[in-house]
Amino acid sequence: MAYDFDLFVIGGGSAGVRAARISAGHGARVAVAEERFWGGTCVNVGCVPKKLMVNAAEYGMWAEDASAFGWNIENHGHDWLKLAAARDREVARLSGIYGKLLGGAGVASFDTRATFLDAHTLEVGGKRVTAERILIATGGRAERLDIPGAELGLISDDLFTLKALPKRIIVIGAGYIALEFACLLRGLGGEVEVLYRGALPLRGFDDDIRAALVEAMTAQGITMTPDVTPTRIARVDDHLMVSLSNNFMREADAVFFCTGRMPNTQGLGLERVGVATTKHGAVIVDDDHATSQKHIFALGDVIDRVNLTPVATATGHALADTLFGRNPRRASYENVATAIFTSPPIGTVGISEAEAAARGPVDIYVTRFTPMRHVISGRVGRKTLMKLIVCQVTQKILGAHMLGEDAGEIMQGIGIAVGMGATKQDFDRTIGIHPTAAEEFVTLRTRVRVAGVLAAAK
């Protein structure tokens, strides 16, 4: 059968655009459909605009700290609309680049929704289009809790359309989005409370980092409320009233649901073509990202594996090379370094102490200190924590974790070392860059504890 395209991509985010562009570069006839905005969540309502707002919040803290270094700066307050305009210009610029990249590579683009009619046929803006291979890269969507009055709350996307900073803000959730939002909203002048159902936020991250972040967020005036869930939201006059599972109530001017994201597979017609999904809607794929229909693939947040933009682009590139570049390969999901842009930020690569200890005995190295900047500024609660988890048998670094200034920037280099299988001795013989916080990672000499011995003995 003659198809219209060799590859049709549903979704114009990081995974889809990279796969489409590289495939076209290998000579394939490629098309992409995007119904909302080019660049996906990251560019439009995620990483990029959020990081710009984090930067804005940091300037406020730096202005406050400047007097300790001899600067006489008057802070006349923050202009929300000026920041929003600058942020939106950059988002529009980046979103436009995605379209230009596709056009320059010879990819056909459709600004509309695409849905399955049969295994090789899609409805694209009212037209029928056929493709030999199809890639699902539709990303995820934010979810509200299923409670009365949930429609009165905002989701993460809504941060970027607010016309003004709400005064009293409740953030519901314990993941990285909730904590990043809480920090930036506080940094820009809001009164913020975070509600979460566990004892500590950031489930799955290292416990030392989790506890240290709660301490740091509390020090900057964010109210951290664990072991609670909202049960109802109601509007009372000009504000919102949030009822809680502990029988207390909270008043707020805005409530953000940062309670997770779901794979964006509704209405694609996957059941029509036999593409299997989990109960939460994530597309099930094998190690080569093929679905239950071997000519249909899926990448990125829609498979709900490691939901990070660099992972999406890496896997998209690998898939294109495999399908059309005569270079079969896979991008690894192991030892993916990542950052959380809280205040202070987190950088991490590898596994947590708890996960490592479950596998066998490990040596734990931890340091905590006040960075040089804040020895002078006197800012309370702005400590740095660094941690290495080392396998006793192989001496390989299994995990590296940091909370502190520039954690994301520092962790990128550590990620290279961990990915290459570096040992504690490799770190020990590396000369530090002085005076920096980063040098602490190569000067950790004193083991603070051993974990996982009992697990290894079983």
Residue 375 resides in a domain: yes
Catalytic residues, by residue number, are 434
Q: What is the pLDDT of residue 453?
A: 75
- Give the mean pLDDT of 353-364: 97
Question: Do both 9 and 118 map to the same domain?
Answer: yes
Question: Do both 75 and 94 map to the same domain?
Answer: yes
Specify the DSSP element, H or E, that contains 454.
Answer: helix 453-457
pLDDT digits (tens, 9 = 90+) for 230-267: 999 999 999 999 999 999 999 999 999 999 899 999 99
pLDDT digits (tens, 9 = 90+) for 86-119: 999 999 999 999 889 999 999 999 999 999 999 9
268 pLDDT above the threshold of 90: yes
Question: Do both 195 and 170 map to the same domain?
Answer: yes
Q: Structural domain of residue 231, as residue ranges? A: 150-259
Q: Contact, 90 vs 48, CB < 8 A? A: yes
Question: Do both 87 and 231 map to the same domain?
Answer: no
Question: Do both 40 and 138 map to the same domain?
Answer: yes
User: How many domains does one find in the chain?
Assistant: 3
Alpha-helical segments (H) within 288-442? 309-324, 353-357, 372-377, 407-419, 424-428
Q: Contact, 209 vs 233, CB < 8 A? A: no
325 pLDDT above the threshold of 60: yes
Residue 413 resides in a domain: yes
Q: Is 336 exposed, middle or buried (0-12, 13-18, 19+ CB in 10 A)?
A: middle
- Give the mean pLDDT of 12-28: 97
Sign of CA dihedral 411, 417, 419, 423: negative
Residue 329 resides in a domain: no
Question: DSSP states of 281-306 as a string?
Answer: -PBP--TT-B-SSTTEEE-GGGG-SS
Task: Tell me the CATH number at 53.
Answer: 3.50.50.60
Question: Do both 56 and 80 map to the same domain?
Answer: yes
Residue 285 resides in a domain: yes
Question: Do both 352 and 306 map to the same domain?
Answer: no
Q: Contact, 389 vs 362, CB < 8 A? A: yes
Question: Do both 218 and 349 map to the same domain?
Answer: no
Task: Tell me the CATH number at 423.
Answer: 3.30.390.30
How far lies 294's CA from each of 3, 8, 285, in Å?
17, 14, 9
